[in-house]
Amino acid sequence: QPPSNASGSYAVAQSRTTAANKEGRPFQQVPQMHRVADERQTKALLQRLLNSLRKEDKNGWFAKPVTETEAPGYANVIRRPMSFETLQKKIENGEVRNFIQFRRDVDLMLLNAQLFNPPYHDAWKDAHNLRQIARRFYDQYIDKEPVHDLQPGSTSSMAVPGAAGAGGQAMLAGNPRALRPRK
């Protein structure tokens, strides 16, 4: 049983402040020059993973941000839009620095497509298929990211805050092809 604090709740055993290996020993501090190299390696890995996923988006649903012209009402339904182009910019400017942040944004992008479109829509189906492909890619890439590069307090939860929708099918009535593939 994990140690508890004075209020009786379980302590997190300093997992947010001190990383430990499988044997429970704390990792040594990584010298700054190694961290920079690891950050570059991680950024390159995230870029390769993004490029692999982009190639799987055969219809171009996820290439660029959805516009109001393409999908009227999208901004009223989806609070946190995401696309491969947006994710690319986030990797480049350092907003996405690790695998967990990357996966969170990919999951958000795919969930948005499934929330806005009904299950019979091609964008919904492509999001479902891309999620399966992404999981296979994650299995290939996950062991390659340095553990110390993960940020304290990060989570790999599949729940994506900020995505909105009504029962997973928020496509506006009368417009079943609101989103068109980009070529």
pLDDT at 115 over 90: yes
- The answer to whether position 177 is within a domain reads no
- Identify the CATH number of the domain in which residue 124 sits: 1.20.920.10
Question: Is residue 168 one of the residues assigned to a domain?
Answer: no
Count of domains forming the chain: 1
In a domain, 22, yes or no: no
Residue 75 above 60 pLDDT? Answer: yes
Q: Once rounded to an integer, what is the mean pLDDT over residues 85-105?
A: 96
With 0.85 as the threshold, say if the pTM is over it.
Answer: no
The Cα–Cα gap between 68 and 70 comes to 5
Measured CA distances, 162 to 80, 169, 171 (Å) = 6, 16, 17
Locus of tokens 């696309």: 83
- Nearest Cα to Cα of residue 172 among 65, 84, 66, 60: 66
pLDDT value at 181 more than 60: no
Whether residue 119 has pLDDT greater than 60: yes
32 compared with 117, residue with greater pLDDT: 117
What range defines the domain where residue 52 resides?
32-149
**Residue 2 maps to a domain:** no
Q: Find, among 105, 59, 111, the residue nearest to 85 by Cα.
A: 105
Question: 100 pLDDT exceeds 80?
Answer: yes
Query: Is residue 110 included in any domain, yes or no?
Result: yes
**Cβ pair 98, 42 in contact under 8 A:** yes
Q: 51 lies in a domain?
A: yes
Upper half-sphere CA count for residue 107 (Cβ side, 13 Å): 16
Over range 142-159, report the average pLDDT. 43
In a domain, 159, yes or no: no
- Is residue 170, in this structure, part of any structural domain at all? no
- pLDDT tens, residue by residue, 20-62: 555 666 655 555 555 666 888 999 999 999 999 999 999 999 9
Please give the pLDDT value at position 165: 41
- Check residues 86 and 147 and name the one with the higher pLDDT: 86
Mean local confidence (pLDDT), 55-75: 96
